Structure 1
């Protein structure tokens, strides 16, 4: 027997190899293995059939993917052969289904590929026929006529095919024979046929052995003992109006659903005519409890639930037994066909998942492998799949029930760093059922974004005399990448072109991590007004990316210079300076308002810090002299008298408008002389200051008077010219279009101060305006950087105020003050 079994196994293996080669040429690997094969049995050379070279199976990790049940086969890592790993029981795997095919998925990595292997488990004759019971008791009336038929329960065989084709034999008997009828190839009806009339008095009990043999080689058998009791009297058994009742019910039928009504009649009279119904047996064995029958009416109802996926056809043997003595029975069968209902939703399984996906992954990259199945049949088992939301992934069918999740669009981690993908499946039933499986696909970062500053140009205002190490501003560049790709470091870049660029490393420094801008040394407005440089932000990616921003640093003036008057004072109207004291002459009887001298001070600051005012500190009270608040002119407050004495000593204080204010003092000594002496002193002082010679010392009173008149005419003409110029500039500023003023980049504007503290501004050109003699002086610096248009959204915290507001304020006040002050100066002269 063992030799025969070995020869059959060799033949089967050869057939399997031929089938596998044929299946591979058709695009799918198919193998066949008999059930109950020993562990370690080689099913097929899987690696070779898949086209892998020797040793490539282990290098590329050839492996099987289990799908919901314990795999009974495995792949040898060294040889790549498909081996039996545990006991294969075809009856346990597939039941009565034929053929019994297992679908396996084989994965190969580097690169990732999936192959589908179909393994057919063939049946061997390892199950003997089994009867429902080892003994069957029958009661047959002795009045039964020869040819009477009595149904018997057949045996069942768990095998399939020829191994499950049963034949029956009955032990020799002169009274009984066996009649076997095949309703189809799988079901046979057995009847015990009475061949000869019975005589209870001769043989009250007949014992027969019923044997069932299958078609396997070798054949296996099963037996049951028939114990036949011969009864007396009642010689008419109930008869059904149909021998077979056929019924169809959906598997969704509820408990208590009406199945069928059987009907039988008995020709006897009295108690022999009364009978009751019962369920004798069921096929498959063990499902008898799913049904109940009313013993009187013959109504059959469900007591359990039907499942099309487990049993598609139920066969019940119904018996009607009368109350005669002995009782007689009639028999019929009820065949219940279970109709499929869409009660199983599709199931989605993830067999492989490759995450995270780099954001620069190419379109078509396989992200995951999935398997989809539905236990229903027909349209209820046809499944369609899709991805929700569809973008940027899609499904591609690779085999029946197998799909690949692939990349359909380019990824951007800065826009979406993780996707919640749902694979949905829907069958073709009505109503359709759906299954789903959620996937979380993370996107890994790639350095594809350069740091970007919040502003292209930063305008920074810093006061002079700031402390070394003081924070001037904070710059920030955004890099949407993550980890090292988004870690930004800052540095001051000395590069750049154009005359406006100055080296900045000696003035400022930027913190590499925080972007804080520090001052390396105190700033001095009188030395540096504008510093323009570039800050560069570089990320830590590979390769690194960078972004730039321009910084315009404007130094604001502070009142750190006091006006100097003692050394800078200029004599006027005949005044001279000797040993740090200013000397001037005034004539007795000079009327009120006559200018005696003019004090002029210089302040190195600018703007308000250089706007000077003059005060007479001593003598206080009702002295004979006064000083102009902004002009510095010393004039008589009343007519001079002899009681005022020969000499007046005046202490004049010069203050600026800074916070806090700074001051300087000058001493003026005024000698009171006769009118002729005063004229000679005035002529001598004028000649000395203009030509630096002593030739004018001998001029008379007539020459001094003529020189004075000439200077008065020149002063009146100068004041008138300045007044007209102020009016023209005021009109131009009022009617000039504002858009043109604010559209240009606007270089630094220098403004000069006068004795009365007036100033002007310009957007495109630098102008100096003075209303008194002397060189123009820088008074106020106004800048108009070329700001980029602001980005949409809320304004940044460090947004500077609009330059137009400052310019409008300065322009309005200064141009209104100019004509008024000029007019006052002309009247005073």
Structure 2
């Protein structure tokens, strides 16, 4: 194919090329624009034109050339002559050299530097590059100086039909509703051609269908695909394959072509009614099936798909419309028959239903074809089952008086076996509902009797469950609730509603209400409570009190006179008889305690004790409380003062009768041996190396025995007591034989060690184990003398 194309191009274009080369330059090369106008004439005219250009001070290009063209894809044994450059400054002396630069210069295009001929040395492709911009310049052969400014020109690549049409987005898919009318648009396709659309017919496309007739057609120029047959049925054929061709050169012979495929799918429309697979359906169901159970399924097939195949199911006729219902299953597209009410084999053994299936979504375009629905008959046979007993009532309500006799009949329940072969029934009480076993039931006839006495005031209602069991099949049982209401009888006498205690003021007035009381009755009469109040017969003429019945069924107690005196009588007891309105009426006697009290002028009770009567009249309870509080406060202050004073005067030394040897010292830390003798000095414990001098210990008897001091001489009269005491204190402080004042020592410093390694100085080998701790016995006379030091004469007392 390429060889034939090349031969055709050579045969077609060779004469034209020869003609173009041989024609005069002025004829072949038409001016491209006014600036590059062709200049011809004698040298004298050229000289004149140059002079005019110089006078106008304007340089005019002297090139004689035009826009050039070259065919694409052309190749031959020799380079292709594209065109020739020539300047009017060239007198033909061959002293001018032509230079070519720009797009493809030297690689695609070559120029003869002497003649100015331009050749294409490579095959060109317009689809890769449609034109080339080059620059030509004439220079002096010897000096290479430019004779005039460079000039640009364009070489355009002329198109040939070397590209076939292409469908870039293929293959294609499209849908169209079934039953569409003739000429319904399906889709449109587009092909592209890489050839030049403005040059010739290389890119002029014409479309046609190679495969897919007679169902579809295509517009040759617009490529719009339409239906060619009306009412195509999806149920007959759903998918079509169409082959489309695009041909260039306007569809003429010799043009190139490309093809693609289009898959057309017919979408569904509701043009088919539902149809039952069979006209009669048979189902059987036990009579004891649970309500709501699915009995069977019916299905109407529809050739349509999706929502067009959805159907609704209904029971439109039959003798079981009240017992059965049908629902639509959207997933399975069928109808489910369910039980609405209980079945009874003994009553009716079979039912006939007429069911209908109808399309939900109706297309009005096809409504004239007839009803989009279908009907079928369903027969349901009821099977016998062993059913449990059935009570005559779903619940029972019984009443009994609380004074009913034991074993008396309260009520009766009845039940039957609904099966055709009836079985005897036995009754029993569910003892989980009658834990106290207050009721019994006759197993044969279901009569309920009283087993224990009832008390309405303890429980008004009793709820029990009765069980009915078939004798032939103990697994068949039924239960029924029985509510027993206990009716009231008047078996409780009325009494005071609370523990009342009345207070009577000594300064009260006659006719004053002392207390208002009310009564209560545990019984519950139908017409409510009505109480009668009275005094005992022997107290009807009570000289102190009287009673008054109020409208609210309460009672007020009033004083008959004033001048009650709690000193004479502090307490009064008033018996009151309370009767109810029952049949027969019951009564009880309640005693009201009335206490005589002292009251303020406005009637506020202040005291009801007889002892309080001796207090001054007019002293209020608040004042008494304040006085009592002051007395308690004074007692607390006195106790605190005495306690503090006793602590202050308590001597610091050990009593004479105490044995110091009973004071055992226990150390919980390790001692420092002999150096513990200085442990009581805190400063020494903190810094044992900084002690100056020797400080004798005061908690043990020193090794050096001092002789007992002589008795102190009597103090002469007139001696300053202050000075004397200070001197004696100084002597006592510096006396190593003085007794210790502290028996427990706290050691903060462990010491630097002990040769014996003892934990306590009490166990040290250097300690004298035969020490005499009875050195306090010598201090008896000294304490006596110390007392004499504080005894001064009359003159000293004044001092």
Output the TM-score relative to the length of structure 2. 0.35
Greater C-alpha radius of gyration: 2
Greater strand content: 1
